[in-house]
Amino acid sequence: MRYIEPHGHMVSRTTDDYLDMVTAGCAAVCEPAFWAGFDRGSVDGFRDYFRQLTEYEPARAAKYGLPHFCWLCINPKESEDVGLARAVLEIIPEFLERPGVLGIGEIGLNKNSRNEVQVLEMHVDLAARHHQLILVHTPHLEDKLKGTRLILDVLRADSRIRPDRVLIDHVEEHTVRLVLDRGHWAGMTLYPISKCTPARAVDILDVYGSERLWMNSACDWGESVPLAIPRTALEMRRRGWTPDAVDRVVYCNPVRFLRQSPKFTLAE
């Protein structure tokens, strides 16, 4: 089996995880910028983090023959400080031409606050001005639906944004249709105790089909499983999905979206 891990926070994982992923058939990993577990207090802290994503982590993955790509932003959890966010966005263009940088992400909302919405709008503008793909984080709150609607409204308000160049992640049963109906791609995050379990993700695929849908582990230092995608592929096979249909979800779909960036290339 082959698959793409389109959303994994590998800076928080060990090299054993890289080995396990490659052994399971992972053909590439994509790493969005995210929260460090604490709020960073300076632009220099983010500059060092962006260097880690664009220099150190690709080299670590390469030791296991795994192509590594990344996304850049200031995470929604750190967006309450609009002044800091504005300063961080000013340095992101320094990194956008680096090999492996796919776009702006994972941007979005955490608590659905006004400051978070303002910083989201700033990120969308940055992506539009630099012709970048967008990866969006939807909130972990019970009111994920409200946050998803706010995000969709921000995206629709900017006429420069093509819906098919935006992936909205962490969709669940009550938000997936909203995202797909707007023409965006939707991501299902496979967590053992939150977001989507493998069984729930396959339920969503059974109901909505596989067009413009992908799966990811979003593995980090919390309760998460780097091999969640191949394990969910096994659940798909158990339910009668053909090998070709499984391959379309776990490999072909992420490749279709990510190849909109000329930097996403894989050895055939």
Task: Please tell me the distance from the alpha carbon of residue 235 to that of residue 249, in angstroms, as a whole number.
Answer: 13
Domain count, the chain: 1
What per-residue confidence (pLDDT) applies to 140? 81
**How remote is the C-alpha of 123 from its chain's centroid?**
15
- Bridge partners of 29, per DSSP, are 5, 68
> What range defines the domain where residue 209 resides?
3-258
Task: Please tell me the distance from the alpha carbon of residue 143 to that of residue 146, in angstroms, as a whole number.
Answer: 6
Residue 52 lies in a domain: yes
What per-residue confidence (pLDDT) applies to 192? 80
- 195: pLDDT strictly greater than 80: no
Mind listing the pLDDT tens digit for each residue in 142-175? Answer: 789 999 999 999 999 999 999 999 999 999 999 9
Residue 240 lies in a domain: yes
Q: Say what the pTM is.
A: 0.97
Q: pLDDT grade, residue 249 (50/70/90)?
A: very high
Residue 268 lies in a domain: no
Residue 267 lies in a domain: no
Mind listing the pLDDT tens digit for each residue in 36-77? Answer: 888 898 999 999 999 999 999 999 999 999 999 999 999 999
Q: pLDDT grade, residue 32 (50/70/90)?
A: very high
Hey, what are 198's tokens? 């493998």
Helix (H) or strand (E) holding 137: strand 133-137
What is the C-alpha R_g of the chain? 17
11: left (phi over 0), alpha (psi -120 to 50) or beta: alpha
Q: In the sheet that 26-31 helps form, which strands lie side by side, from edge to edge?
A: 3-5, 26-31, 68-72, 101-108, 133-137, 166-169, 185-189, 213-216
- Bridge partners of 100, per DSSP, are none
Residue 265 lies in a domain: no
- CATH at 14: 3.20.20.140
Task: Please tell me the distance from the alpha carbon of residue 114 to that of residue 148, in angstroms, as a whole number.
Answer: 14
Specify the 3-state DSSP secondary structure of 219.
coil
Hey, what are 114's tokens? 């006004």
Residue 85 lies in a domain: yes
